[in-house]
């Protein structure tokens, strides 16, 4: 029985690392081939997208001969507008009581003190 996640059973006195027991030469070669294929696919995709953007790279030619500032590098990349958390401002009980009294309306029982609730 294995004594930890990194050992395999059957190691007489000496525990064999789990990765060494599982990672055979064939498995390492297969992983290497898979990684190479994924990198080649990513390179192909990047080249394809760069070629698709090539016609739109310089839509505004420079007629006056001055070097254009690279505005894209001066601004941070934003994928979505900044979202501010919703802040709910609730008046205190005293502010609500004052608002009711200001307009001359009766103050609800839940806004009165303990004695005011008893005699409402």
Angle in degrees, CA 112, 95, 111, rounded to 5: 20
Least confident range from 19-23, 40-44, 47-51: namely 19-23
Question: Distance (Å, rounded) from C-alpha 14 to C-alpha 22?
Answer: 17
User: Using the 8-state DSSP alphabet, how is residue 71 labeled?
Assistant: H
Residue 98 tokens, joined = 């004052």
- The ranges assigned to domains in the chain are 15-52, 91-120
For residue 14, pLDDT beyond 50: yes
Angle in degrees, CA 98, 100, 106, rounded to 5: 125
Which helix (H) or strand (E) segment is 3 a member of?
Answer: none
56 or 66, higher pLDDT: 56
pTM score, whole prediction: 0.34
> In this structure, are residues 99 and 107 in contact, taking their beta carbons and an 8 Å threshold?
no
């Amino acid at each position: 029985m294995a004594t930890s996640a990194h050992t395999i059973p059957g190691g007489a006195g000496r525990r064999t690392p789990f990765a060494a027991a599982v990672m055979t030469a064939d498995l390492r070669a297969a992983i290497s081939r898979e990684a190479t294929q994924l990198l080649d696919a990513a390179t192909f995709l990047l080249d394809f997208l760069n070629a698709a953007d090539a016609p739109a790279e310089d839509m505004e030619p420079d007629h006056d001969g001055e070097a254009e500032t690279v505005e894209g590098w001066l601004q941070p990349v934003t994928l979505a507008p900044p979202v501010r958390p919703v802040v709910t401002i609730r008046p205190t009980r005293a502010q609500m009581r004052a608002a009711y009294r200001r307009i001359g309306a009766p103050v609800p029982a839940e806004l009165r003190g303990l004695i005011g609730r008893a005699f409402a």
